[in-house]
Homo-oligomer: A and B are copies of this chain.
């Protein structure tokens, strides 16, 4: 058997493959869906609710027409939603770094005057969230997750017991990478749990709010409303973007929260810049026209993505079903399949695949400090490759997993 697995693997070597399953990048066909967007706002009528979209001026909160479209989709009242530039990650980074000079809670000291802040990180999670913490000197503590979100017993104990815990990351719907959606019960507990720090904030990165891949999409409860109802109105920072709706590099992003948090946000945003790029915001508003326009557009993405996610299930099922210690998710939406391989072999699988020309996200990336204690998780991103490339990459991957398992058994 070991001989066969090695032979299966070795037939890929020297083939000069260059396949990539690393990042959740839209494929060119997905980007083409939004080409019409660039043709808008060119007829010489640049006047919008906020004045001439080409010029300075208007609200620091961004173009109202755009905020009206995305407010219901992101579950944020329109007057509590700000529209910004192409990167929601930049908004999260800005929220963290701004807290070092001015805490979002009026009665809490700026973090430059406190012990180093701690953020809780449900794992596996989004590596770029952890990169923000690492860059800004925020200590990360992993929190285990279940099929409906973070393990709330662990989480509640940490936020209640440590006033240095100032925040937590969460991709609440079709989470990156594990694909689950936070349950109503978890939303309820997040909104109501006692916290030690008055400026504790949930960084609710709703990146895949409308990124359904089935006819029975996951439903996400409204955290902002739940927090307000629980008497903790300032607990949630909601983020979103069109990076995986229009253009990954040239979309628009959103920040929503309570009136007090939005006032804090805009106070600093208005000193940082004279305003966001309203031309791009107007193009997005006119391209979609309404929330339903966004949902209709997402069905076109689904038509491209659904076969790719099905190919992952088919391919892994055929090759790996029943293999000891190997399992994978089958999400209802989002951009990732999360693969568990035999503990202790994830790094070896990534190494073997790389040598055969298939680039995988580094093992450990979805964990704080890049370290997966069990060395078992691999994140697969099937959106970018074409059908043939994807199939070939999955074939290689399966051979690598089998070989790494064999090697581990052989000790």
Task: Check if B89 sits within 8 Å of A274, measured CB to CB.
Answer: yes
Stretch at the interface among A68-76, A194-202, A265-273, A288-296: A265-273
For residue A74, give the distance in angstroms from its CB to the closest CB of chain B: 20
For residue A37, give the distance in angstroms from its CB to the closest CB of chain B: 10
Name A247's contact: one of B34, B54, B249 (CB within 8 Å).
Answer: B54
CA distance A32 to B55 in the complex (A): 11
Which size bracket describes the interface of A in this complex?
Answer: 35 or more
Closest chain B residue to A271 by CB distance?
Answer: B135
Closest chain B residue to A27 by CB distance?
Answer: B55
Name A131's contact: one of B53, B131, B271 (CB within 8 Å).
Answer: B271
For residue A168, give the distance in angstroms from its CB to the closest CB of chain B: 19
Task: Check if B273 sits within 8 Å of A90, measured CB to CB.
Answer: yes
Task: Check if B54 sits within 8 Å of A31, measured CB to CB.
Answer: yes
> Given A25-B56, A38-B42, does the pair A250, B280 have CB atoms closer than 8 Å?
yes
Within 8 Å of chain B (Cβ to Cβ): is A57? Answer: yes
Contacts of A137 in B (CB 8 A): 101
Stretch at the interface among A9-17, A92-100, A179-187: A92-100
> Given A42-B38, A271-B132, does the pair A55, B248 have CB atoms closer than 8 Å?
yes
CA distance A53 to B93 in the complex (A): 23
Within 8 Å of chain B (Cβ to Cβ): is A85? Answer: yes
Within 8 Å of chain B (Cβ to Cβ): is A150? Answer: no
Interface code A80-96, partner B: CB below 8 Å = 1, 0 otherwise? 00000111011001100
Contacts of A249 in B (CB 8 A): 53-58, 274-279
Closest chain B residue to A84 by CB distance?
Answer: B85
Within 8 Å of chain B (Cβ to Cβ): is A411? Answer: no
Name A272's contact: one of B31, B39, B93, B243 (CB within 8 Å).
Answer: B93
Task: Check if A250 sits within 8 Å of B54, measured CB to CB.
Answer: yes
Closest chain B residue to A246 by CB distance?
Answer: B54
Contacts of A134 in B (CB 8 A): 271
Interface centre among A23, A35, A58, A273 (most CB of B within 10 A): A273
Within 8 Å of chain B (Cβ to Cβ): is A322? Answer: no
CA distance A136 to B155 in the complex (A): 32
Interface centre among A31, A55, A85, A267 (most CB of B within 10 A): A55
Name A28's contact: one of B32, B52, B57, B58 (CB within 8 Å).
Answer: B52
Task: Check if A31 sits within 8 Å of B44, measured CB to CB.
Answer: no
Contacts of A52 in B (CB 8 A): 28, 31
Identify the A interface with B (CB < 8 A): 23, 25-26, 28, 31-32, 34-35, 38-39, 41-42, 44, 46, 52-58, 85-87, 89-90, 93-94, 97-98, 100-101, 112, 128, 131-132, 134-137, 243, 247-250, 267-268, 271-280
Nearest first, the 5 A-B pairs at minimum CB distance are A112-B112, A135-B271, A250-B279, A87-B273, A90-B273
* 19 A-B pairs with C-beta separation under 8 A: A23-B56, A25-B56, A31-B46, A31-B55, A35-B44, A57-B249, A86-B273, A89-B274, A97-B100, A101-B135, A112-B112, A131-B271, A132-B272, A135-B267, A135-B272, A249-B274, A249-B277, A250-B279, A277-B277
